[in-house]
Amino acid sequence: MNRPMANPPGSAPTGPVDGLTFQGVEISLAGRRLLSLDRVVAPGETLTVMGPSGSGKSTLFAFVAGFLDPAFTARGRIALNGTDLTKLAPQRRHLGLVFQDALLFPHMSVGENLLFALPPGIRGGNARQAAAEAMLAEVGLAGLFSRDPATLSGGQAARVALARTLLAEPRALLLDEPFSRLDQALRAATRDLVFARIRERNIPAILVTHDPADAAAAGGDLVVIGEAEAGEGETVGAPTAATAP
């Protein structure tokens, strides 16, 4: 279940590490351990997390993003480029979230959705619009700036959502079954688009999915959680051997 993978070159085993580091991360619900994880996801790499529904994949996602329900208890440290994320408010973590739904804000146009994401450092209406238009062109949707999100096709909406995420210049990406709502043809194209951006920007990513084809396309490490289904009391986490030697 665990594909052996050489540590990417350049990721130092000790000291502040570039990328996303999980140190002794453990999440439990009412005393029952859901998952545990010790990993380093290097910049440009994607860690794929698989498991049946209800296994805690989304719980891991919520913990990294900072939305863990207080009913869960989580331990351990998650560091992004050496900064402990668990101490930061969600809006200060610089993580890009991509869900299975595009979740474009329905009261804003496509362009407004993008401008909402663009950091305030880029000033002036024209400069901001140009940046947003450029990103739209990058995901192959030039000219849709003024469109109502409700008029987009599923594939277009997914690409606008990706564009919105990338515009905020995230330092890591969290992908929660991002392709499961797309049909086969679109899924392959969107996958390529996403993983190309991850490599190009050289940021770490976590992909939560139950589609093995997603995992293959991601091309990085694979962690399977929740093999032992609810009721057995414990869940198999990633073997600790996966951490740096």
Longest CA span, the chain: 58
How far is 171 from 168, CA to CA, in rounded Å? 9
Hey, is 223 helix, strand or coil? strand
Q: Is 68 a binder of another protein (CB under 8 A)?
A: yes
Q: Is 143 a binder of another protein (CB under 8 A)?
A: no
Tell which one of 1, 87, 142, 239 touches another protein (CB under 8 A): 87
Task: Give the residue with the Cβ less far from another protein, 181 or 219.
Answer: 181
**CB 124 → another protein: shortest distance, Å?**
19
How far is 235 from 237, CA to CA, in rounded Å? 6
Tell which one of 48, 55, 165, 190 touches another protein (CB under 8 A): 165
Hey, is 35 helix, strand or coil? strand
Q: How many CB atoms lie within 10 A of CB 190?
A: 20
Judge whether 59 and 72 are in contact, CB under 8 Å: yes
Q: How many CB atoms lie within 10 A of CB 71?
A: 7
Six-digit token string for 67: 């939305």
Which of 112-120, 181-189, 205-213, 228-236 is the region at the interface with another protein (rule: CB under 8 A)?
112-120
Task: Give the residue with the Cβ less far from another protein, 67 or 196.
Answer: 67
Q: Is 119 a binder of another protein (CB under 8 A)?
A: yes
* Torsional class of 231: left (φ above 0), alpha (ψ -120 to 50), beta (otherwise): left
Size of the site for another protein (CB under 8 A): 43
Q: Is 150 a binder of another protein (CB under 8 A)?
A: yes
Which residue type sits at 91? Q
Task: Give the residue with the Cβ less far from another protein, 117 or 224.
Answer: 117
Which residue type sits at 93? R
Q: Is 116 a binder of another protein (CB under 8 A)?
A: yes
Tell which one of 1, 16, 24, 67 touches another protein (CB under 8 A): 67
Task: Give the residue with the Cβ less far from another protein, 131 or 188.
Answer: 131
Per CB under 8 A, residues contacting another protein are: 58-59, 61-62, 65-72, 86-87, 89-97, 99, 101, 103, 105-109, 116-117, 119, 148-151, 164-165, 168, 170, 174
